[in-house]
Amino acid sequence: DAGVTQSPTHLIKTRGQHVTLRCSPISGHKSVSWYQQVLGQGPQFIFQYYEKEERGRGNFPDRFSARQFPNYSSELNVNALLLGDSALYLCASSLEGQGVGYTFGSGTRLTVV
């Protein structure tokens, strides 16, 4: 069975650009969450989507946005990239929206130069 898949695996962008990261959840999972992991730290919560609606949002600026599609896949968008946005972006899916049973993907490594 396919796990959580994320694309692309690596990405290099210039300051001020826009980026879109993609996530496909495990089949049957209705919830997708996004986390940012800066080198040397634990992941930080950005968003959770459940049944195509935003359920929760972390302490991130409005430059960060996301959406979930009818097939439960999700996109994370970041506008006006800053050097500090360089991180590993992780997607996690779960069957329900309560924070249990999360499975993480391998992430997208974003480097902003």
Partner 1 sequence: GESVGLHLPTLSVQEGDNSIINCAYSNSASDYFIWYKQESGKGPQFIIDIRSNMDKRQGQRVTVLLNKTVKHLSLQIAATQPGDSAVYFCAENTGGTSYGKLTFGQGTILTVHP
Tell me which residues touch partner 1 (CB under 8 A).
4, 31, 33, 35, 38-45, 48, 50, 55-56, 58, 90, 92, 94, 97-100, 102-107
Residue 18 or 37: which CB sits closer to partner 1?
Answer: 37
Distance CA 76, CA 43 (A): 15
Cα dist from 51 to 38, 81, 84, 96, whole Å: 28, 28, 31, 9
- Kindly state the smallest distance separating residue 33's Cβ from partner 1, in Å: 6
Decide whether 56 or 61 has the Cβ nearer to partner 1: 56
Structure tokens at 1: 């069975």
